[in-house]
Amino acid sequence: MPSTCAIVVHPSAEALALAAAERLASLVAETERPPFFLALSGGATPQRLYEILAGDRFRERVAWARLEIFFADERAVPPDHLDSNFAMVARALLAHVPVKAHRMPAESGDAEAYARLVGTRVVARRDGVPVLDLVLLGIGTDGHTASLFPGTPALDETRNWVVMNEVPSLGARRMSFTYPLINASRRVWILATGGAKREIVMQCLRAPAAGEPGGAALRQRWPVVGVRPHEGELVWWLDEAAAG
Ligand code: 6PG
């Protein structure tokens, strides 16, 4: 399957979250070889999607037993910490539905162990790299995605699927999926809502991809530009405020 890129715009963040929930429920139902491997991001943008999935409309409808969840990135904090992506997803979704989820224990610093876990659970491979069915990502106003921040060492990672990334702008270390793992996936969705994201979304959508002239340098500046599944589908999910 060649790599494709689509941009879908919804009138509001709520409409976007609802449409994404619908699409995800269908993908899980249609998957020929369950489990459907899904990686989640933190941040405020996908939280509504997680809540909608746990709500009346989807709780009974999604085939939860066909789904297995990983995390695309995590802060180095315990699972009940206010900053923990796991804590947010647990509150919004995991506490309400019977789904298998693998927390990313970033506070252990053991990125290799998480990579091994992904590699053990996900048997499908593309050039030796596990193929996740869907990776959900967000974008920061600085162009970061997952915990791939501008100018940080994780951007140059070509071998490891998961790394601890030193992020000087935050004065913190985070665990994150790397490009090799993200770009081996079948699908990547980048969710962006709100006017504050408009400028960066526009710049990144205009930027050349990593393989094109100038693309590699831009990926250092706006890491989301390096997200481009090799043989999969990339979808930018925007609300009207982010799309401008
Ligand atoms: C995280 C993320 C991160 C997030 C962006 C956007 O752990 O925070 O995975 O990459 O997606 O920072 O965050 P918002 O949705 O809160 O703007």
Condensed to tens digits (0 to 9), the pLDDT of residues 122-159 reads 999 999 999 999 999 999 999 999 999 999 999 999 99
Report pLDDT for 2: 66
Q: Is there an atom of ligand 1 within 6 Å of 234 CB?
A: no
Q: Is there an atom of ligand 1 within 6 Å of 44 CB?
A: yes
Cβ–Cβ < 8 Å for 132, 37: yes
Q: Is there an atom of ligand 1 within 6 Å of 42 CB?
A: yes
Report pLDDT for 3: 86
Cβ–Cβ < 8 Å for 160, 115: yes
CA of 32 to the centre of ligand 1 (A): 31
**Distance (Å, whole) CA 129 – CA 8:** 28
Distance of CA 220 to the CA centre of its chain: 18
Q: Whose alpha carbon is nearest atom 1 of ligand 1? A: 42
Q: Whose alpha carbon is nearest atom 13 of ligand 1? A: 43
Q: Provide the Cα torsion 129, 135, 141, 147; round to 10°.
A: -50
Q: Which atom of ligand 1 lies at the shortest distance from residue 138's CA? A: 11
Q: Which atom of ligand 1 lies at the shortest distance from residue 174's CA? A: 7
Tokens of 182: 């993200």
Report pLDDT for 213: 82
Q: Is there an atom of ligand 1 within 6 Å of 145 CB?
A: yes
Print pLDDT tens along the chain (244 aa). Answer: 668 999 999 999 999 999 999 999 999 999 999 999 999 999 999 999 999 999 999 999 999 999 999 999 999 999 999 999 999 999 999 999 999 999 999 999 999 999 999 999 999 999 999 999 999 999 999 999 999 999 999 999 999 999 999 999 999 999 999 999 999 999 999 999 999 999 999 999 999 876 778 878 899 999 999 999 999 999 999 999 999 9
Compute the radius of gyration of the chain from its Cα atoms: 17
Q: Is there an atom of ligand 1 within 6 Å of 45 CB?
A: yes
Q: Which atom of ligand 1 lies at the shortest distance from residue 47's CA? A: 15
Query: Residue 242: what residue type?
Result: A
CA of 147 to the centre of ligand 1 (A): 8
